[in-house]
Amino acid sequence: MTQKTSDKSRRNFLKSFGVTVGAAGVVSSFSLLSAAKAAAKEPGETVNLLTADGQLVQVDKNQLRPTVNEPLDELQQRGREGIAGKSFVMVIDLSKCRNARKCMSACQNHHQLRADQHHINVLQMQDADHTAPYFMPKPCQHCDNPPCTKVCPVDATFKRQDGIVLIDNERCIGCRFCIAACPYSARIFQWTEPKDAEKYKDLTYNIEANVPQKKGTVSKCLFSADRLREDKLPSCVSACPNGVYYFGDRNEDAVTNGTSGETVRFSKLIEENAGYTLMEELGTKPRVYYLPPKNRAFEFNGDLLNEENLH
Amino acid sequence: MNDDTKSKETTLSFEKIKQDVLRPMQNHRGLELWIVFLITVISVGAWAYYVQLRDGLGVTGMRDYVSWGLYIANFVFFVAVSLVGMLISSILGLLKVDWIAPISRIAEIIAVAFVAVAGLVIVLDMGRPDRVLNVMIHGRFQSPILWDVTVITTYLVISALLLILPMIPDLAICKKEIKTAPPMLKKLYAILSFGYTNTPEQHKHLHKMIRTLMVLIVPVGLAIHTVTSWLFAATLRNGWDTTIFGPYFVAGAFVAGSAALIIAMYFFRVNYKLQDYITELHFDKMGKLMVAVCLVYLYFNVNEFLVPGYKMKSGDSVHLKELFFGSWAIMFWSSQLLGNILPIILMVNKRFRMPKPIMIISIFVLASAWFKRYVIVIPTMLHPHLPIQNVPDNYQHYFPSSVEITVTVLSFALALLIITVLAKIFPVVPICEIADQKGIDYKIEE
Ligand code: SF4
Ligand code: SF4
């Protein structure tokens, strides 16, 4: 009986914070389980949660359940269709990238990846001898002529109408042909049980975030398709402290800087800064544009580029 | 093994051929032990595979960059070896080369065993083998994997038919002669001999069917290895992004397949005491054939490596330097030398086309062929367009893990087991065809 009361009081306490909370900033949002169900369960492990207004609280794990409101079928269907009328593009300003790597960690949090798994990877580049080294964040290029989707035997990786290339890890057979086919090394594989697999095993699969990740399947950058659906910028774009990323819609010719929130014309940005795409000679037609690393206001501080790190 | 090469040409009667070929099928000596050994190896391999299923492909040495490793190299090797069936029994058969008669069945047995196991190896490589049926349910025909699945299945079926159909007359003999066969096997002989009694009409029909299949298997055989090469050539990677991969792989397959056949010929000749059938002449001819296919393969190798090596485009140059002088040099050059150049030099010499020397050369050729596949698959994966950074150290190298090696050994044991069983229940040398060729009259009774 005392047990029940304490459960209830904790619940009320949480309710007063406005209920929707993100698991220590780790993943998608959680909400409280219905009272009856929670009361029936033994108290188990507690987890730390960050409430909407920034308080850290401890909650019984049994009381949590993910807030995925849509059933799997619907998520899968809308995930495959994409967002009508949109044509998403990303612009990465190399002159601003200082290797802060906030994009990498935000991405790993969002997509339940370990620290050595990258949907986006900040590379140290040097194009030729005697040219200046620079940092280059490299997400999936969401190619318009994607070599990866062409080779998939089961249509588990596909391109949708808004230009985003996604992966259906409910269907992927783990042949890794797409990894071999991607010239940008943008894809990773879940060689073992993914991070926190146990914790997320009951979560409904969301194809637009590719979570929960599954052992034996492929993953890669998804332009945070789940966040785009809520009109938010991709995780990496929002997380960058240095104004490196712009993200937006080519149809509207507008891209928004994730740091400053400023929206500019996409075509003008590209034109004025001599934007380019990566390895365009391969004919992959990337949707990620780069602005060259010129006029940098900081020193390149990479662990200098010896032969092995570069080709 | 002791090769009794001195056995002289005896005059053959149908009775003698029959006895010579059927005797080893009834004589069990050592066979059980060999089968038990193979099954033990397979069981250990199966356990290793279970570990892989349970813990994920992470138990292999593969990681995000080298995401295709030993399994895929081995798959290519198996497909390559299986091509010998099409080379010997179809191409040469259609060209009416008649010395192949006593060895074409061995070639066909190798083809069936290796292509069947190749199909399995690809499943062993999958991250989610439980979803293998997705390939049927959600199959997308734009993917070369679908083409590969289709042609490999077709090749397996036609090869099996090309093994069984020419064997029908022999099986009719087995049905009658092998009294000690267990009932199951007798039933199999009865079913597969289709009541054949060698009437002229049956003979005509059978040969028509066989000829049709021989024609059919040529494009299918070319396709299996061409499509397998496209799994690589269809990508944009340095070292794979070339246009000659199809014929290059096919030529290499003929080399590997011929070597495998010579080894098997030698084994059956000695262990089954078939010196009267698989003669020095056959080794000599196979040696010449091998020189021919090696020369073709050498030609493709020169094209494949010299041309990009001359240009040294930036991507290719890293890759080629690693192959020519870097950490892959030993494997690269020894597979070229031992698997191609030296065999040519040696085998133009008649002495080296004698059974024993050519068998030893073939072992080197076959081993080199295996390593060559390894050199084709793995280094390319280590040389992507963009640098490999911010990943654990073991992502930058590749060495197969013990689990991976054990599972690969399983694939070999399985292929050998299939060959052993087929050679145990079926006559490895075609009795009636040899009699036909020698102009010996025979009757097959009901
Ligand atoms: S970058 Fe690679 S994974 Fe992304 S769309 Fe292009 S080929 Fe596919
Ligand atoms: S690994 Fe999965 S997504 Fe990639 S090609 Fe194979 S089935 Fe398709």
HEC states along B180-191?
A: CCCHHHHHHHHH
Nearest CA in chain B to A101: B390
Q: Quick one: which atom of ligand 2 is closest to the CA of A155? A: 8
Over residues B418-445, the mean pLDDT reads 86
B236 at A interface, C-beta within 8 A = yes
Instruction: Assess contact for A90 and A223: CB atoms under 8 A.
Output: yes
**CB A48: neighbour CB atoms within 10 A?**
12
Q: Are residues A33 and A148 in the same domain?
A: no
CA separation for the pair A113, A119 (Å, rounded): 9
Using a CB-CB distance cutoff of 8 angstroms, which residues of chain B are in contact with residue A185?
Answer: 64-65, 384-386, 388
- The letter for the amino acid at B49 is Y
pLDDT in tens, B322-364: 999 999 999 999 999 999 999 999 999 999 999 999 999 999 9
- Ligand 2 binding pocket (C-beta < 6 A) is A 151-154, 156-157, 167, 172-178, 218
CA separation for the pair B418, B116 (Å, rounded): 9
Reading the block at residue A91, the tokens are 């612009």
Residue B21 has pLDDT above 70, yes or no: yes
- Sign of dihedral through CA atoms A239, A245, A247, A252? positive
Nearest CA in chain A to B377: A180
Q: Quick one: which atom of ligand 1 is closest to the CA of A284? A: 6
The contacts of residue A44 (CB under 8 Å, 6+ apart) are A60, A61, A62
Q: Residue A261 burial (CB < 10 Å; 0-12/13-18/19+)?
A: exposed
In a mutagenesis test of the A interface, which of B62, B67, B68 is the best target, namely the one with the most A β-carbons within 10 Å?
A: B67
Using a CB-CB distance cutoff of 8 angstroms, which residues of chain A are in contact with residue B129?
Answer: 173-174
Query: Residue A279, by phi and psi: left (phi above 0), alpha (psi -120 to 50) or beta?
Result: left
B140 at A interface, C-beta within 8 A = yes
Using a CB-CB distance cutoff of 8 angstroms, which residues of chain A are in contact with residue B395?
Answer: 116
Using a CB-CB distance cutoff of 8 angstroms, which residues of chain A are in contact with residue B393?
Answer: none
Q: Is residue A299 part of a domain?
A: no
**CB B337: neighbour CB atoms within 10 A?**
14
Q: Are strands A263-265 and A254-257 parallel, antiparallel or unpaired?
A: antiparallel
The total number of structural domains in chain A stands at 2
Q: Is residue A311 part of a domain?
A: no
Reading the block at residue B25, the tokens are 């099928």
Q: Are residues A54 and A79 in the same domain?
A: no
Protein residue with its CA nearest to atom 5 in ligand 2: A152
Give distance in angstroms: CA of A181 to centre of ligand 1: 8
Q: Are residues A89 and A35 in the same domain?
A: no
Over residues B439-446, the mean pLDDT reads 75
Q: Are residues A29 and A82 in the same domain?
A: no
Rounded to 5°, angle at Cα B58 from B52 and B64: 140
Ligand approaching nearest to the C-alpha of B138: 2
What pLDDT, on the 0 to 100 scale, is given for residue A21? 38
Which of A152, A207, A217 should be mutated for ligand 2, with most atoms under 8 A from CB?
A: A152
What pLDDT, on the 0 to 100 scale, is given for residue A35? 37
Q: Where in chain B are the domains?
A: 17-233+243-294+400-438
Q: Is residue A124 part of a domain?
A: yes
Tokens 């999936």 belong to residue: A140
Give distance in angstroms: CA of A113 to centre of ligand 2: 19
Q: Are residues A108 and A16 in the same domain?
A: no
Q: Are residues A123 and A192 in the same domain?
A: yes
Helix B14-26, helix B168-177: angle, nearest 10: 70
C-alpha distances in angstroms, A91 versus A135, A238, A284, B332?
15, 13, 17, 42
Reduce the DSSP state of residue A283 to 3 states and report it. Answer: coil
pLDDT in tens, B294-305: 999 999 999 999
Reduce the DSSP state of residue B97 to 3 states and report it. Answer: coil
- Write out the DSSP string of B139-205: --TTSHHHHHHHHHHHHHHHHHHHHHGGGHHHHHHHHHH-TTS-HHHHHHHHHHTTT----HHHHHH
CATH topology for the B17-233+243-294+400-438 domain: Formate dehydrogenase/DMSO reductase fold (1.20.1630)
Q: Are residues A94 and A198 in the same domain?
A: yes
- Domain holding A29, by residue range, is 2-63
Tell me, using a 6 A CB cutoff, whether residue A219 lines ligand 1: no
CA separation for the pair B52, B127 (Å, rounded): 9
What pLDDT, on the 0 to 100 scale, is given for residue B276? 86
Rounded to 5°, angle at Cα A180 from A90 and A283: 50
Q: Are residues A17 and A125 in the same domain?
A: no
The alpha carbons of chain A give a radius of gyration, in whole angstroms, of 21
- The letter for the amino acid at B252 is G
B392 at A interface, C-beta within 8 A = yes
Q: Are residues A149 and A224 in the same domain?
A: yes
Q: Where are the alpha helices (DSSP H) in A166-224?
A: 177-181, 197-200
What pLDDT, on the 0 to 100 scale, is given for residue A16? 38
Reduce the DSSP state of residue B360 to 3 states and report it. Answer: helix
- Write out the DSSP string of A24-43: GGTSSEEEEPPHHHHHHSPP
What is the percentage of chain B residues whose pLDDT exceeds 70? 97
Q: Is residue A109 part of a domain?
A: yes
Q: Residue B386 is nearest to which of A138, A150, A188, comparing CB atoms?
A: A138
- The letter for the amino acid at A235 is S
Give distance in angstroms: CA of A189 to centre of ligand 2: 10
B116 at A interface, C-beta within 8 A = no
Q: Are residues A150 and A271 in the same domain?
A: yes
Instruction: Assess contact for A309 and B393: CB atoms under 8 A.
Output: no
End-of-domain residue from the set A63, A81, A96 = A63
Per-position b or e across B303-319, b if 16+ CB within 10 A of its CB: ebbeebeeeeeebbbbb
What pLDDT, on the 0 to 100 scale, is given for residue A240? 97
Q: Are residues A148 and A273 in the same domain?
A: yes
A243 CA: distance to closest CA in chain B (Å): 22
Q: Quick one: which atom of ligand 2 is closest to the CA of A151? A: 5
Which of A30-34, A44-48, B68-72, B98-102 shows the lowest per-residue confidence on average (mean pLDDT)? A30-34
Q: Residue B56 is nearest to which of A124, A192, A309, comparing CB atoms?
A: A192
Nearest CA in chain A to B387: A310
Q: Residue A282 burial (CB < 10 Å; 0-12/13-18/19+)?
A: middle
End-of-domain residue from the set A15, A36, A63 = A63
Question: ipTM of this predicted complex?
Answer: 0.91
What pLDDT, on the 0 to 100 scale, is given for residue B307? 93
What pLDDT, on the 0 to 100 scale, is given for residue A10? 43
pLDDT tens for the 311 residues of chain A, in order: 344 444 444 444 444 333 333 333 333 333 333 333 444 444 556 666 655 555 666 766 555 555 556 788 999 999 999 999 999 999 999 999 999 999 999 999 999 999 999 999 999 999 888 889 999 999 999 999 999 999 999 999 999 999 999 999 999 999 999 999 999 999 999 999 999 888 888 889 999 999 999 999 999 999 999 999 999 999 999 999 999 999 999 999 999 999 999 999 999 999 999 999 999 999 999 999 999 999 988 888 887 555 444 44
Q: What is the mean pLDDT of chain B?
A: 91
- The letter for the amino acid at A225 is A
Q: Are residues A77 and A146 in the same domain?
A: yes
The contacts of residue A127 (CB under 8 Å, 6+ apart) are none
CA separation for the pair B361, B262 (Å, rounded): 10
Q: Is residue A192 part of a domain?
A: yes
